[in-house]
Amino acid sequence: MSPVGHARERGVQTLTLDSPHNRNALSAALVAGLAGALAEAGEDTGVRAVVLTHTGNTFSAGADLRDPPGPDALVALLRQIVALPKPVVARVTGHVRAGGLGLLAACDIAAASTASTFAFTEVRIGVAPAVISLPLLPRTDPRALARYCLTGERFDAAEAARTGLVTAAGDDVDAVLEPVLDGVRRASPQGLAETKRLLTAKVLEAFDRDAAGLTALSARLFASPQAREGMTAFLERRDPEWVV
């Protein structure tokens, strides 16, 4: 069974992260499946926009520590979302952690329900949000990002909206997205593509300038003794050895 579901309604292609056994963690299979689905949507003239959503109560738990995709594959996926010539809209009704926040930042528009929670948990397992910083840094409030990336604290949808991580939050995420999807359906394909090109130019510059160095940093950190201890502690549901 594919970890990514597909549906189409009036020009909007919905891609659903559907890997409930690992809370939609970014495994090699899920990243590859999502990349393939995005490529198809990008080439399909009948698709006006893409909605990225999820099954279960977690949008994405971040990198799958048992089957990681590798930093090169994650960089390529995030860049693909940013560079896709059609708007990509995140629809979140659950929790988002670590690398899953990179998916949100790569999307052009993101809406979350008030039940959603967010956390940059990398620092707690001995790594850093290296690769996902590529779309995050140009699009989110730097002071808030410093706090949440350095502490790993959990925050709510209202705070995510305030910091720019998501566009809007509400009790009914579909009601929040209704005018958004109506707007893209009324827009011309050329207008959408060229407007998105203008809006994402600085983000793509960051990818082209910094991706290689951040990929190397991510690989080095994940191979370190502290990361091995952090990931082992996470899987064993215990505190890592450095907690005081």
Tokens of 92: 């979140």
Give SS3 for 145: helix
Residue 40 pLDDT exceeds 90: yes
Maximum Cα–Cα distance across the chain = 56
Tell me, what's the pLDDT at 157? Answer: 98
CA-based nearest residue to 97, from 26, 168, 170:
26
At 65, is the pLDDT very low, low, confident or very high (cuts 50, 70, 90)? Answer: confident
Give SS3 for 101: helix
- CA angle 227–233–237, rounded 5-degree value: 145
Tell me, what's the pLDDT at 2? Answer: 84
Positive or negative CA dihedral for 76, 52, 134, 223?
Answer: negative
More confident residue, 66 or 239: 239
Q: Are 244 and 108 in contact (CB under 8 A)?
A: no
Cα(204)–Cα(166) distance, integer angstroms: 19
* C-alpha 104, offset from chain centre: 4
Residue 19 pLDDT exceeds 90: yes
Residues 6 or more apart whose CB falls under 8 angstroms from that of 163 comprise 140, 141, 144, 145, 148
Q: Are 138 and 203 in contact (CB under 8 A)?
A: yes
List strands edge to edge, sheet with 4-9: 4-9, 12-17, 49-54, 88-92, 109-113, 168-170
Residue 236 pLDDT exceeds 90: yes
Tell me, what's the pLDDT at 69? Answer: 87
Among 32-41, 68-77, 171-180, name the one with the lowest average pLDDT: 68-77
Instruction: Tell me yes or no: is domain 1-172+188-244 CATH 3.90.226.10.
Output: yes
End-to-end C-alpha distance for the chain, whole angstroms: 43
Length of the chain: 244
Cα(4)–Cα(32) distance, integer angstroms: 10
Q: Read off the pLDDT of residues 188-230 as tens digits, 9 standing for 90 and up.
A: 999 999 999 999 999 999 999 999 999 999 999 999 999 999 9
Residue 165 pLDDT exceeds 90: yes
Cα(73)–Cα(83) distance, integer angstroms: 15
**What DSSP state is assigned to residue 75?**
H
The predicted model scores a pTM of 0.96
At 147, is the pLDDT very low, low, confident or very high (cuts 50, 70, 90)? Answer: very high
Per-residue pLDDT averaged across 130-136, rounded?
Answer: 97
Average pLDDT, the chain: 96
Cα(97)–Cα(60) distance, integer angstroms: 6
Q: Are 149 and 187 in contact (CB under 8 A)?
A: no
